[in-house]
Amino acid sequence: MTSPRCIAFCTLLLFQNGLSIFLDQNCGLIDSSKSRTPWLANILTEVEHKFICSGTLINRRYVLTTATCLQNRPAITVCLGKCDSFSDDVLYKNARYRIPHESYSSSNHQNDIGLINLQPNVEYNAYIKPICIRIDPQQKWSNSHMNGSLWSGIRYKPKHKSSICSEPPCKAIGKPLSIPDASNRSVQHGILSFQDSKTNAYVYTNVFEFIEWLVEKALDIDIIVSLPA
C-alpha cells in the first residue's frame, strides 16, 4: 500500500473513532521570533513576479487558495518564506499545475476553492511551515450569514491611511481566516473569497465544507472520504 493510501486508510479509522486529525501533522506551530505566518504564500506571475493573490501552504506539495486566483491567469509561481525581503529565507516554487474546484462559479463565488501543486516538494523550516487543515466531520461554522460554502461576518471598517492592513496584500484574496485550537495550533477555517460591495463584509469560503475534496486532491489519491451528515 502506497504512503498516501496508508494515510487515507488511517484517516478513515480515525473518523470511525470520532478523532480529529490534521492534513499535515507538522502544521500550525510557529516560532514567533521568526514568523507568525510561516504558511502564507504569495502567488505571483511567473516572469515578472507581480503579486496576484495569496494562499496557504497546507502540506509539502500543495498551496490552498481560491479558484478565483487560478482561473484565466498567466503562468504563475509561488513565493514562500520571507517574501518581502531579499534574504536567504525566501523560496520560489514552480506551480506544476492548478486545481480549481470543478464546480466553481465566478458569478456567485460558489465553490471558490483551489489548489496549486508545487514542484519539487517543500522543505519546512522556521519561515516555511504548513497551516493546519482539520479533518473533522463534526466541525461546522455556526451562525452563517450565507449558505454552507460561504461565510460572511467580518465587516471592514475603514481605518487611518497609515494602517497597512487596510489595503492589499494584507487583505488579499486567498488569505486565510485561522483560529488557534486548544493546543495553540493555527487551524484554517476560511479563505478570503471577496468583499461584499454593499456591506463591506469580507466573505470567506468555508474550508470545512470541502474537506472531502481536499483530502482527495492534496493527498494525491483516488479514495474519497465520505463524511457523516
| E strand or H helix that includes residue 193 | strand 186-195
Per-residue pLDDT for 224 more than 80? no
**For residue 221, what pLDDT is reported?**
46
Least confident interval from 121-135, 139-153, 192-206: 139-153
Average predicted confidence (pLDDT) for the chain: 78
Assigned CATH topology for domain 27-130+210-218: Thrombin, subunit H (2.40.10)
- In the chain, what are the domain boundaries? 27-130+210-218, 145-205
Strands 51-57 and 201-206: unpaired
Rounded distance between C-alpha atoms, residue 13 and residue 16, angstroms: 5
All 3 cell numbers of residue 171? Answer: 487583505
Termini Cα distance of the chain? 29
Mean predicted confidence (pLDDT) in 175-193? 90
**For residue 153, what pLDDT is reported?**
54
Bridge partners of 55, per DSSP, are 41
In this prediction, residue 61 has a pLDDT band, given cuts at 50, 70 and 90, of very high
pTM (2 d.p.) = 0.79
**For residue 94, what pLDDT is reported?**
85
Per-residue pLDDT for 22 more than 50? yes
123: left (phi over 0), alpha (psi -120 to 50) or beta: beta
Percent of the chain with pLDDT over 70: 71
| 101-130 pLDDT, tens digit each | 999 999 888 999 999 999 889 999 999 999
